[in-house]
């Protein structure tokens, strides 16, 4: 038997497995089975907290489809709450620093990357105003914040069929590792509305890395200046970034319940 906690950040929900003392073997099929909302525990992402020789803990992240990814902002905010103190976290995207604040956490998400091969894209192009688009969407920006994001700034967010366009863009050959798709509307220089189609998870109530990527792209384009409040369907995150620096993300993290499970049964 192993222990887990059900947690969420703005409704983006996680099964957080404690593997610090006892290792948990996760395959793509097992992660998918645990994440299933009908026959498993149910979550958008599965998070495994283990030991690290370089940081306080290590974090592995699996999407609901079983694919392993390098970064998840909402899950990162849950880690200090799960551990019970400020922590450094080893991830595939690098070392992150997460500190408890009232009702949540503040995370240094590291520096964004903009080179086409760091996103990655299939071929070289300008990532601030990409010379491509889909249907009547405007040319997007691309940012890697530990995982790949493409951001479309639109005039009327409610008019965008994100549930239809998101999955088409996610798997476009331009993105060899697939991509998270962000649809954003600038409300004022410090406030952005955002809906995200997450790679491997679909539409979720919130996406922390999407909020980071969108705020960074808006600041780079001169559409916004930090700090930026990013309003997602599940609530607000505050993102601050100065060109050349690292991204600071502040927002809620919530513990729901804890339990035990036999991981070999999945």
Q: Residue 103: its pLDDT value, please?
A: 85
Q: Residue 132: its pLDDT value, please?
A: 96
Q: Which of 43, 72, 78, 212 is catalytic?
A: 72
Q: Residue 61: its pLDDT value, please?
A: 96
Q: Residue 184: its pLDDT value, please?
A: 98
Q: Residue 251: its pLDDT value, please?
A: 97
Q: What is the pLDDT along the chain (266 residues), one digit of tens a residue?
A: 889 999 999 999 999 999 999 899 999 999 999 999 999 999 999 999 999 999 999 999 999 999 999 889 999 999 999 999 999 999 998 999 999 999 899 999 999 999 999 999 999 999 999 999 899 999 999 999 999 999 999 999 999 999 999 999 999 999 999 999 999 999 999 999 999 999 988 998 999 999 999 999 999 999 999 899 999 999 999 999 999 999 999 999 999 999 999 998 99
Read off the pLDDT of residues 139-167 as tens digits, 9 standing for 90 and up. Answer: 999 999 999 999 999 999 999 999 999 99
Q: Which of 43, 78, 207, 212 is catalytic?
A: 207
Q: Residue 71: its pLDDT value, please?
A: 87
**Is 72 annotated as catalytic?**
yes
In degrees, rounded to 5, the angle at the alpha carbon of residue 139 between the alpha carbons of residues 133 and 144 is 95
**Is 207 annotated as catalytic?**
yes
Read off the pLDDT of residues 231-243 as tens digits, 9 standing for 90 and up. Answer: 999 999 999 999 9
């Amino acid at each position: 038997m192993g222990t887990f906690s059900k947690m969420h950040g703005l409704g983006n929900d996680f099964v957080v497995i404690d593997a610090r003392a006892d290792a948990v073997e996760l395959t793509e099929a097992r992660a998918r089975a645990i994440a299933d909302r009908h026959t498993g525990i149910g979550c958008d992402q599965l998070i495994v907290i283990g030991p690290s020789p370089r940081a306080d803990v290590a974090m592995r992240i699996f999407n609901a489809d079983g694919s392993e990814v390098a970064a998840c902002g909402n899950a990162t905010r849950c880690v200090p709450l799960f551990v019970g103190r400020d922590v450094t976290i080893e991830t595939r995207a690098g070392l992150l620093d997460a500190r408890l604040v009232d009702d949540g956490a503040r995370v240094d998400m590291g520096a964004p990357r903009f080179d086409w091969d760091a996103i990655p894209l299939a071929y070289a192009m300008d990532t601030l105003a990409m010379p491509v688009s889909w249907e009547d969407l405007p040319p997007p920006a691309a940012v890697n914040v530990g995982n790949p994001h493409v951001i479309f700034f639109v005039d009327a967010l409610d008019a965008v069929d994100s549930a239809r366009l998101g999955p088409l863009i996610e798997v476009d050959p331009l993105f060899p590792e697939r991509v998270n798709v962000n649809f954003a509307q600038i409300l004022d220089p410090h406030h952005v509305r955002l809906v995200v189609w997450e790679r491997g998870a679909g539409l979720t109530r919130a996406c922390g890395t999407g909020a980071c990527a969108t705020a960074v792209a808006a600041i780079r384009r001169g559409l916004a200046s930090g700090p930026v409040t990013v309003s997602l369907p599940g609530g607000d995150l505050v993102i601050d970034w100065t060109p050349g620096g690292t991204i600071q993300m502040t927002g809620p993290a919530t513990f729901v319940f804890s339990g035990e499970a036999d991981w070999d049964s999945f």
